[in-house]
Structure 1
């Protein structure tokens, strides 16, 4: 079974194809996964591996580890483009997420004031006032929208909540407007005998309509880059991604293709 990637709370820095030199903060267990999605493409594996036994890092522990790492990096003369909340699951599930964001912004300002703070968020907890407030504070609120069609979203992202739906999601994303960066994973393939494909004209058209409603600062479109827990998925070519991007740009929305 494919398992979690990150075995520490603060990790890296690593080179991110979207974010440059990125120091990661993993607010999930270091030996298991906690997420409100169970995506077919998740590089951290399926939720069935369990949450492990380490538990979640505390706010104080996270701040101490982050400050120690930032001190070392500055002493060594390293550069840093971004501090990124990502890891083995959905960071906004952490009960102290908002406070940890506040601590991170203070530490960023102290040690690497030119770096940005980014959150990779699956958008499932945008009904939580403290989560929304924290996401509004960071430099890059990178919010997930893989399909604007319910059946496809449920097939690819596999939300753990039976009531989660794209109409609700798009309505919540509209609150962020140009504060949001929308991230969409394009893929195709097969899972459990069913065709998976969010690159069709119907899918792209629905996403274009959603992007136009949200009017984000930017859309990030990308495809598979690492091993996925669902084995029969295929990477979409850069040429195809660029063709989709051209349609988004024609609506006056900035696009980054990876």
Structure 2
């Protein structure tokens, strides 16, 4: 079973397939996972297997730890390409997320002004006014949309609250008026004997129509890279990802594929 639990509040730097040299910012507890999704492919494992006992770091703790690390990296002459909010769960669920973003932008401007601030989010909190405004202020507002099928999302992403509505998520992403990057996981395989392959035309075609409707500034598609908690999942092939990427780009929207 996958048990990648990241340090908190700062981890790395690590090399991201999509973002370069990334210094991670984890707003979740250091001993467990707190997420509004319970994805079957999450490298941090299933929510129920990693209930935390520690609290989330405070805004002040995040800022202090980030400043220490940036001073250290500056002294070593190795500054990050990106400051990435990721880790053990949904970063925008932190009660001080907007204030943390303000602190991070200030520290970025002081120590590594060339670096980008990125947020990897499942978009479940993005409709909240304070979160929406904060995401408008970051360089890379990366929002997950694995499919436009509510049934598939319920089976694979497994929202932890009953009111999740993919149509609301689509409208929320669109409301950023191009200041959003859509991130989509494509994969194959089964879970408990059920097919979870979302690379077929029945999933790809409506997803493409939705991408056209949202008109994000960029799309990032990717597939499984690390161990997953469900071991019957399989990577999508490079050929499959390339074909989907090319269809996105044919609509005039930049798209990258990570294998």
User: What pairs with 1:29-68 in structure 2 (closer than 5 Å)?
Assistant: 29-68=29-68
1:82 alignment partner in structure 2: 82
1:107 alignment partner in structure 2: 107
Inter-partner Cα distance in structure 1 for 2:187 and 2:176: 26
Q: In structure 1, list runs of 5 or more residues that go unmatched.
A: none
Inter-partner Cα distance in structure 1 for 2:58 and 2:109: 21
User: What pairs with 1:59-208 in structure 2 (closer than 5 Å)?
Assistant: 59-208=59-208
Q: Note the aligned Cα RMSD (angstroms).
A: 0.9
Inter-partner Cα distance in structure 1 for 2:40 and 2:232: 10
Q: Normalising by structure 2, what TM-score?
A: 0.98
Inter-partner Cα distance in structure 1 for 2:166 and 2:63: 35
Q: Normalising by structure 1, what TM-score?
A: 0.98
After superposition, the C-alpha distances for 1:141-187 in whole angstroms (9 at most, x for unaligned) are 00000001111121110001112121111111110131000000001
1:246 Cα deviation from its structure 2 partner = 1.1
Residue 75 of structure 1 aligns to a residue in which SS? helix
Residue 85 of structure 2 aligns to a residue in which SS? strand
1:114 Cα deviation from its structure 2 partner = 0.2
1:24 Cα deviation from its structure 2 partner = 0.2
**Is the Cα contact below 8 Å between 2:8 and 2:57 reproduced in 1?**
no
Q: In structure 2, list runs of 5 or more residues that go unmatched.
A: none
Greater alpha carbon shift after TM alignment, 146-155 vs 64-73: 146-155
